[in-house]
């Protein structure tokens, strides 16, 4: 079952990357862009992550996991940084 999840996630990831690139080549196509993002999200959730101890050590699978999880790790890092910036901001209280 774990191998099936890995294969499906890799196929979805490749389809997502292809769709996103295809959306910007030539005339812009919103359907390809949304399909690409949906495929990447599904690949992220289907992939049996090593972080959650779902899979054994394998250098090739580790590289695939890095590629699949990288866009979401970057997105989560940016969101956490923005939250820290706004949480630390000393904004004056405005009374009406």
- Tens of pLDDT, residue by residue over 58-82, are 788 888 888 998 988 999 999 998 8
pLDDT tens per residue across span 18-60: 999 999 898 888 999 999 999 999 999 998 876 666 666 778 8
Give residues with Cβ within 8 angstroms of 38, minimum separation 6: 16
């Amino acid at each position: 079952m774990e191998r099936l999840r890995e294969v499906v996630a890799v196929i979805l990831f490749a389809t997502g990357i292809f769709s996103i690139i295809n959306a910007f080549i030539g005339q812009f196509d919103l359907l390809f862009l949304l399909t690409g993002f949906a495929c990447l999200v599904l690949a992220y959730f289907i992939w049996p992550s090593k972080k959650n101890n779902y899979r054994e050590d394998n250098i090739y699978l580790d590289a695939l996991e890095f590629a699949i999880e990288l866009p979401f790790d970057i997105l989560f890092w940016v969101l956490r940084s923005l939250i820290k910036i706004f949480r630390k901001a000393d904004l004056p209280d405005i009374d009406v």
